[in-house]
Amino acid sequence: MKSKITIPIVFSALFLSVLAFGIDRSTEGHVESPHADALEVVFSTQMKQIAAADKEKWWHDTKERQWLVKRPFAPGVFDTTNTFIVTYKIDGTEVASWDVDTRKKTATLRKADNRRKGK
């Protein structure tokens, strides 16, 4: 009889402890995806460069626009958790690219020769 009472109590205690302590509050108010966070940094800091790169009449044209986000290389010796390359393409042609640090919330326009070589 005693085990029938303790099992629901143990499960209830476990459930309540998961609710109370298992929620990761470190990401509250942040974008879930680090890649989306990199895009957000570019959008919030680089609008003049985006407009300069997009010389088309973007309100009326039908050209495809792509935003690509990748890490420069896999984590390992160097921590690339918050380091990204964000690239903007119009109809498959790269028009701008940025080195993004999501921790510092900075985006630096990459040089054209580095963009072509994929560095």
Under the phi-then-psi rule, with left for phi > 0, alpha for psi from -120 to 50, and beta for the rest, what region is 21? Answer: alpha
Under the phi-then-psi rule, with left for phi > 0, alpha for psi from -120 to 50, and beta for the rest, what region is 92? Answer: left
What pLDDT sits at residue 89? 96
61-87 per-position pLDDT tens digit: 899 999 999 999 987 888 899 999 999
What SS3 class is residue 64? coil
Give the chain's mean pLDDT: 79
What is the arithmetic mean of pLDDT over 32-53? 95
